[in-house]
């Protein structure tokens, strides 16, 4: 079936390839957009990040080249400049490229930097948004990002700066008890973030959640408080990718849950044990 795609004209004009910067979403392959899935089937090459799940990678047809630019065990992460060069070189060779990024390309994904590199080399592109981890992981954990009477706004911050830069943020503004705070990539600097938020006036008793591998069958959800979340994460041996949600909306987790409870029931039926943090019931009941 032929498709009327105006981007094809851009490809033929300069004999270069075309880049689709595609958001893969938080992990569940069924959360990808129809357009994202279609582009995977039409690509010559897929350049993908570490956080793209195996289920999503399985959608790439046989014969389509795959290039991993994410961190692997025993290897260093591919520098951004090198990723840009890989994409530009592929496009200059006339390839149709899907640059597949976990979540949404423009939400702490450095997608803007990659597009700047394409513009510099006059390479045509398009952006395909994806469900970002905040909305995906919160929904699959029973935690609404906003709720009347609890949260009037949502704040997104990254807990990891590049080149070991200090986590220098306006904590006074961020420590708002009437908002929901979502921390991406926050494990490594979580002690500093917790200390800074409490020092800025956010109560240590503020409900907090950590979600590992959100929206997937290996999702783990931890409910605790701001003051105890760092220790709780270590006790449960949580590893990245983990997203942190802080705010009163966390208290709705069990009431609005539809996914986590089914996972835990399945694990019980399979003979697995699920450790529940000691403070979870108190946080959800208070």
Point out the residues that are catalytic.
49, 71
Nearest to 277 by CA among 194, 221, 239: 221
Q: Are 145 and 182 in contact (CB under 8 A)?
A: yes
Distance, in Å, from the CA atom of 243 to the CA atom of 73, rounded to the nearest integer, reads 21
Nearest to 251 by CA among 284, 274, 224, 226: 284
Distance, in Å, from the CA atom of 146 to the CA atom of 128, rounded to the nearest integer, reads 25
Residue 179 φ then ψ, to 5°: -125, 170
Task: Report residue 236 as tokens.
Answer: 């449960």
Distance, in Å, from the CA atom of 15 to the CA atom of 123, rounded to the nearest integer, reads 10
Helix, strand, coil shares, percent, the chain, to 5: 35, 20, 45
Distance, in Å, from the CA atom of 90 to the CA atom of 283, rounded to the nearest integer, reads 51
Whether the bond into 241 is cis, omega within 30 of 0: yes
Task: Report residue 201 as tokens.
Answer: 């006036």
Give the single-character DSSP code of 214: T
Q: Are 256 and 160 in contact (CB under 8 A)?
A: no
Nearest to 236 by CA among 255, 247, 227, 223: 223
Is 254 exposed, middle or buried (CB count within 10 Å of its CB: 0-12, 13-18, 19+)?
middle
């Amino acid at each position: 079936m032929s498709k009327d795609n105006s981007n094809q004209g851009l490809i033929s004009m300069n004999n270069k390839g075309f880049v689709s910067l595609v958001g893969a979403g938080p992990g569940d392959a069924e959360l990808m957009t129809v357009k994202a899935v279609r582009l995977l089937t039409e690509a010559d090459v897929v350049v993908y990040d570490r956080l793209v799940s195996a289920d999503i990678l399985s959608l790439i047809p046989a014969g389509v080249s795959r290039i991993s630019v994410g961190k692997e065990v025993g290897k260093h992460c591919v520098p951004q400049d090198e990723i840009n060069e890989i994409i530009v070189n592929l496009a200059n060779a006339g390839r149709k490229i899907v640059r597949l990024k976990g979540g949404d390309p423009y939400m702490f994904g450095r997608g803007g930097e990659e597009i700047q590199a394409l513009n510099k080399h006059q390479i045509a592109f398009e952006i395909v948004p994806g469900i970002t981890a905040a909305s995906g992981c919160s929904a699959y954990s029973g935690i609404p990002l906003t709720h009347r009477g609890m949260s009037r706004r949502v704040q997104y911050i990254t807990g990891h700066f590049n080149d070991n830069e200090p986590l220098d943020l306006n904590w006074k503004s961020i420590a708002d008890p009437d908002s929901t705070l979502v921390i991406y990539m926050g494990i490594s600097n979580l002690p500093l973030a917790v200390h800074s938020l409490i020092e800025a006036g956010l109560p240590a008793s503020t409900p907090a959640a950590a979600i590992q591998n959100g929206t997937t069958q290996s999702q783990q959800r931890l409910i605790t408080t701001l003051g105890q979340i760092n220790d709780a994460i270590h006790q449960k041996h949580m590893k990245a990718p983990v997203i942190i949600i802080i705010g009163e909306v966390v208290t709705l987790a069990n009431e609005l849950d539809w996914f986590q409870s089914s996972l835990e029931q399945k694990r019980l039926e399979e003979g697995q044990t699920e450790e529940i943090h000691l403070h979870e019931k108190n946080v959800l009941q208070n």
